[in-house]
Amino acid sequence: MISPLPIEVDLPQESRAPARVARSYWQEAWGRLRQNSIGMVAGGVLVFFVLVAIFAPLLAALITHQNYQTLDLTNTFAPPLSPNHILGTDDLGRDELTRLLFGARVSMGIGFLAVFVALTIGAAVGLVAGFYGGLIDGLLMRFVDIILAIPAIFLFILMAILFKPNTVTLALIIASVGWGSIARLVRGEVLSVRSRDFMVAGAALGARDSRLIVRHLLPNVMHVMIVFGSLYLGQVVLIEAALDFLGLGISPPTPSWGNMLTNAETFFFHSRTLAIFPGITIFLTVLAANLFGNAVRDAFDPRLR
């Protein structure tokens, strides 16, 4: 007779030590990002500016009780903390805080739109070029070389004169140069992933090219896109503000942080604060975007710290 269970089996005790929960790559990155307090604060600041942009009319109605284009020529250059004008008024007596609130719409709107467009085009070009290689790769990458050879600021000025930009076209103008860098980055990443086993296996199983690119390559280059996107956001906000400042971007009466500074130099003797506030909002936005981008990069690649 065989006695049942002759061997003592060490049954796993369930409550001894909580086993580490299996986490995906994305969950790991998110976990690291959450522990980065600077990055989370920076992300919070970005969310704050996005909310300001979305709810600018509501905030204006609740806090400043002013319209951003109401002129009051009897009350120009009012200092901050004057009655009815928390941050004072500008050269035409318009409420400065209200204009700053609405200015967030321009910066944030153009910022996110330009990043989205540049990422979409750049990733598509990079994926196709990296995946197919050969002639397609050569042609696409030479095109990127051409775009990136022309000094960006010159191109922006040319296109700004050509298109007389509004919010959407200005974002497209900025993105029309920015996609080149992301295409290069994505292509490089694709080249290192392309010959891995899962790609070969996918191809061997008869997957179509489009499926290989979208389902297998794209998730593997997504981290490059996210990191680039968050760092690029700050650059877009800076470029956009500079173009507005030069009078080539969004023009008055639509308030933007850049065009609020256009004439600041001529106002120095009337009001110092007019030159300061829009710059601070630009600075904070770009700072937050850069710090958040750094945090995202660290979260995806802890070795880079």
Partner 1 sequence: MLLKYVMRRVLATIPVVIGVTLITFSLMHATAQNYIPGVDLNPALKPEDIEAIKRYLGLDRPLYIQYLTWLTNLVHGDFGRSMTDGSTVSSHIFDRLPATLELTVTAILLGIVISIPLGVTGALRRGSKLDHFFTALSVGGFAVPAFWLGLILILIFSVQFQAWGLPFLPSGGVITPGTEGGDLLDRLVHLIMPATVLSFVYISIWSRFTRSSMLEVLGQDYVRTARAKGMTERRVVYLHALRNAVIPLVTLVGLELPALVSGGLVVEVVFSWPGIGKLLYERAIQTDYTTVLGITTFAALLVIFGNLLADILYALLDPRIRYA
Contact flag: residue 10 with partner 1 (CB under 8 A)? no
Identify any residues that bridge with 72 across adjacent strands, giving them in sequence order: none
Write out the binding residues for partner 1, residues 83-142 only, by CB under 8 A: 142
Contact flag: residue 265 with partner 1 (CB under 8 A)? yes
Q: Is residue 89 helix, strand or coil? A: strand
Which residues, in sequence order, are CB contacts of 105 under 8 Å at separation 6+? 53, 56
* 222 or 284: CB nearest partner 1: 284
Residue type, 150: I
CA-nearest of 240, 203, 223, 261 to 110 is: 240
**Of 45, 54, 136, 157, the one binding partner 1 by CB under 8 A:** 157
Cα separations in angstroms, 175 against 146, 168, 186 = 15, 11, 16
Is the distance from CB of 110 to CB of 167 less than 8 angstroms? yes
**Of 81, 197, 269, 303, the one binding partner 1 by CB under 8 A:** 269
Distance (Å, whole) CA 96 – CA 66: 10
**Of 250, 286, 296, 299, the one binding partner 1 by CB under 8 A:** 286
Write out the binding residues for partner 1, residues 203-242 only, by CB under 8 A: 234, 238, 241-242
Give the per-residue contact string, 171-210, with partner 1 (x = CB under 8 A; - = no). Answer: ----------------------------------------
Q: Which stretch binds partner 1 (CB under 8 A): 12-20, 69-77, 81-89, 150-158?
A: 150-158
CA-nearest of 93, 249, 100, 68 to 171 is: 249
Applying CB under 8 A, the residues found at the interface with partner 1 are 142-143, 145-147, 149-151, 153-155, 157-159, 161-162, 234, 238, 241-242, 245-248, 261, 264-265, 268-269, 272, 275-276, 278-279, 282-283, 286-287, 290-291
